Chain A
Amino acid sequence: MERRLVIKQVLIMAGGLALLPSCLREEGKSTVQLKNITVSLDEENLLAEIAETIIPRTSTPGARELKLHLFVLKMLDDCYEEADQLRFVKGLELFKEQTRDQFGKSFGKLSVHQRESMLSKLENNPSQELSAFYKITKEKTIDGYLNSRYVMTSLVIYELVPGRYNGYYPVKTA
C-alpha cells in the first residue's frame, strides 16, 4: 500500500510530460507503464541511446536527459495503430541483430560516428519494420524535444499569454 502511494507520487517526467511508472517494477521491464506494447529494460535503454544519438547532449540537454525515449514509447503505446506498434517492436529486434552482425557489439558501445551512420541508413530502409521503427523514433523524439518543458521554457520560448499581435513585425530578410 505504502509502496503504491510512493509510486503514485513519483511520476516519471519525460520532457515535462508526466508518465506513470510501471506498477510492479518487474525486473527487466520498461520503467514506464505501457498498455499495448511490451519493451524490456534493455530495449528501453537502447532506445535511449538511439534518441540520444538523434538529439545529443551539447551545451544543452539531449534526449536521454529529457527522457524523450520514454515519450516515444508513450506515444507509440497510445497513439499508433497496432500494425505500427508491431512493426516498431519487430524493427527494434532487427536493429539489435543488425548492430550485432555489423559491429559485433551493442549500439551503446559504438562511436558517435558509427551510431550516426547506422541510423542514417535506416531512414529509407528496404525493411518496412526497420524503417517504421526508425521513423517513429525519430519523429517522436523530435516532437518530444520541441515540445519539452526544457525547450519551451529555455530555448524556444512558448508564450501562453502573448497579450499582443503585430502583423507587421520587422524581420531580417536574409
Chain B
Amino acid sequence: MSNINIDAAKANTYDVIVIGSGISGGWAAKEFTEKGFKTLVLERGRDVQHIKDYPTTNKFPYEFEHLGEPALAIKKENPIVSRCYAFKEDAMHFMVKDKEHPYVQEKPFDWIRGYQVGGKSLLWARQTQRWSDFDFEGPARDDFAVDWPIRYKDIAPWYSYVEKFAGISGNRDGLSELPDGEFLPGFPLNAAEDYFKGIIRNKYPNRHVISARCAHLSKPNQIHLDQGRAKCQNRTLCQRGCPFGGYFSSNASTLPWAAKTGKLTLRPDAVVESVIYDDAKGKVTGVRVVDAHTKETTEYYARIVFVNAGALNTNLILLNSKSKRFPQGLGNDSGVLGKYVAFHNYSARITAEYDGLKQFATDGRNPAGGGYIPRFRNVFKQETNFKRGYAAGIYGSRYMERDRSAIGKSLKENLLHAKLSPWIMGSHMMGETIPKESNFVNLSASEKDAWGVPLLNISVAYDENDALMKQDYIEQLTEMFTEAGFKNITPNVASQAPGLDIHEMGGARMGRDPKTSILNEWNQLHTCPNVFVTDGACMTSTSTQNPSLTYMAFTARSVDYAVKAMNRGEI
C-alpha cells in the first residue's frame, strides 16, 4: 500500500460509524460524541438542517400550489407513497418517491421511507409509550417468536434517560401495562374525550382512556432550551419540520447536540453498500459507501459500527454484507436474518357522533391528537381466541359544518357562518402482529438499484390472528361507543397493506440464543461483537406501543454498553 493510501485510510478512520441519521441513528451520534468518540454518521439522503431546510413550514394553505393536494400526475407516478396520510404538498419533499427507490413486493407492502438527514424523525406521529413486562414477556408467555433477552427493569432507566432529553408530555396514569415516564405536563383530553374516559372507567375496570403521550415540549425544561428548542405552539403542522423545535426530531435535537461536541462528521448522500468484515482480522473494520450522486465508492473505517438504517434497510445492509466468514450476510450463521418481520395492524377505524356536551368545543389545536387506550385484551391472562391485542387512539372534535347546497348570496352567507357539528368521535386500532418465519425480507437475486445494491424483496402479510383481532377491535369499540351513548357508529375496515403503518420491525431480532436470533441483550451481533443494531430491525416482537421511544432507549443503553466494552478492551 502506498503512503497516499495509508493517509487516505487514516483520513477515513473514525472511532465509530453510525449508519443512518433517523431517530435511532441521531441518538447513537449524540451518545458517542458526548462521550468523546469521533463519530461518522452516514446518511443516504440529502442534508436537511433544522429550520433552514423546512421550506414549507410557515406556509398558509393558499400558498401551496393545489391547497396541499398532490397533483394527479405525482399521485399516479407514486401510488405507494401516495397512500400515506402525510404525502401532501407540505411534506412530500421529505418522502421517498416510488420510482427513485424501487423494491420488490412479493406480497403487497407499502414501504414508506424518508431518505434525508433526520430520516422519518421529521415525519413521525410523535406518540411515545413505554413497554412494560406484559410486552417483554409476551413471546415467552404466549409461545411465539423467541423470548426477549431483556425485561422492563433493564430498559426502564434508559427510557428515563431519553425521555428527559427528548421531552415527552404525558400524565402519570399509574398503569402497570403502560409504565409512567419522565413527563412534561400532558395535553389534556377535551370535553368529549373526558366524558368517554369516565364512561369507560365506570364500565370496564381494566380499560383506560388516557391523554396520548407524545414527544412535544408542553413546558420545556432547561435541557430543551439548551438544544435551541422552544415550547410547542400547537400548530400541528409537524410533518413540515417545526421552526420552534416543539417536537423531537434528530434535526432539532440529537444531531445539532452531537455537532456541538466537535466530534461529529455528518456525511449525507452516502449510500451504504455493505459493512466490511475483514476475514483476516476476524472482525468488522468499516463500511463501504457509494456516493449518491457520483456513484464513487469510498471505504470508511472504525472500531464500532452502529446500523440504524431503518428496520428493513438495516436488514438489507446486513444481508448484503457478505464475507468468507459470513456468506449469508453479516452475523447470519443462523439463517434467521431478514425473517420474523412484523408490524402494527392499523387496518380498522371507527367513527361515531355524540350529541351531548354541546356547551363545549375546542379552541386551538392538540398536538397529542387526543386520547390513547392502552392494550386491554389478553394483558393479565389469555381471554380471547386470538393472541395478544391492540391499543387504540381515541379522539373527539367538532368541526365547522358549512352548508354548500345553495348558490349566490345565501351560499356565501352559509359558508361564512358555519355551524358547529356535534362531537365526532374517532378511533383507530394499533394491533400487535406475530412475527413469523414466513414474513421476511431478502435480497433480489437479479435486480439492483442505481447504486449497485440488490433490491429488497419484501414478503410480509397479515394472518388469521390479525383478522380475528381486527374483528374484536370493531366489536369492543362498538360496544364501548354504545355504552357512551354515541350514535351513527361506523366501523371502517377498508384494508390497507402492511407497511402503511410505518411500524415495520424485526428481521435482526434480539434473543438469548445465537441459533435463533441475530442480536444479544445489548443489541450486539452475537457473532460479530463490534456491530450493533438499535433500530426497528432489533425487535423480537412488536407489542402495541408506537416503537420510536423504545429504539431511542435501546440506542442509549447500547452505546453505554459498547463504550464500557471498548474501555475493557473487549471490542
Contact = CB atoms under 8 A, between A and B. Distances in A.
12 contacts: A17-B62, A54-B408, A58-B412, A79-B66, A116-B407, A119-B407, A138-B407, A142-B411, A158-B61, A160-B237, A163-B233, A165-B365
Interface in A98-154: 112, 116, 119-120, 138-139, 142-149, 151-152
A170 B61 CA distance: 27
A7 to B, nearest CB: 18
B350 interface: no
Contact of B416 (A138, A155, A167): A155
A55 interface: yes
B62 A169 contact: no
A131 B475 CA distance: 40
A78 B73 CA distance: 7
Nearest to A62: B412
A58 to B, nearest CB: 6
Interface of A: 15-18, 53-56, 58, 62, 74-75, 78-81, 112, 116, 119-120, 138-139, 142-149, 151-152, 155-156, 158, 160-171, 173
Contacts of A120: 407
Contacts of B71: 78-79
A55 B189 CA distance: 38
B66 A74 contact: yes
A151 to B, nearest CB: 8
A144 to B, nearest CB: 8
Contacts of A16: 60, 62-63
A144 B69 CA distance: 13
B361 interface: yes
Could you say which of A55, A145, A156, A166 has the most chain B C-beta atoms within 10 Å of its C-beta?
A166
A80 B190 CA distance: 38
Contact of B404 (A56, A142, A160, A168): A142
Contacts of A166: 362-364
B62 to A, nearest CB: 3
B11 to A, nearest CB: 45
Contacts of B408: 53-54, 56, 112, 116
Contacts of A167: 188-191, 193-194, 360, 362, 366
Contacts of B364: 162-166
A115 to B, nearest CB: 9
A152 B62 CA distance: 9
B359 interface: yes
A80 B66 CA distance: 11
Interface residues of B, number: 44
A139 B235 CA distance: 27
A92 B366 CA distance: 44
A169 B366 CA distance: 13
A54 B406 CA distance: 8
A112 B410 CA distance: 13
A3 B405 CA distance: 44
- Would you call the interface of chain A mostly helix, strand, loop, or mixed? mixed
A162 B235 contact: yes
B125 interface: no
Nearest to A57: B412
B297 interface: no
Interface in B372-425: 402, 404, 407-409, 411-412, 415-416, 418, 420
A146 B237 CA distance: 19
B58 interface: yes
Nearest to A78: B71
Given A54-B407, A147-B62, A162 B365 contact: yes
A1 to B, nearest CB: 26
B358 A173 contact: yes
A78 B190 contact: no
Contact of B69 (A54, A79, A148, A163): A79
Nearest to A52: B408
B361 to A, nearest CB: 5
A114 to B, nearest CB: 12
Nearest to B191: A168
B522 to A, nearest CB: 41
Contacts of A169: 360-363
Given A16-B60, A163-B233, A165-B234, A143 B189 contact: no
Given A155-B416, A161-B235, A173-B358, A147 B67 contact: yes
B363 A58 contact: no
B72 interface: yes
Given A15-B62, A120-B407, A162-B233, A171 B73 contact: no
A143 B69 CA distance: 12
B65 interface: yes
A55 B407 CA distance: 7
A73 to B, nearest CB: 12
A19 B418 CA distance: 29
A171 B420 contact: yes
B187 interface: yes
A75 B190 contact: no
A151 B61 CA distance: 11
A79 B187 CA distance: 37
A161 B237 CA distance: 9
Return the 8 tightest CB-CB contacts between A and B, nearest first: A167-B190, A16-B62, A169-B363, A164-B364, A165-B364, A162-B364, A78-B71, A166-B363
A59 to B, nearest CB: 10
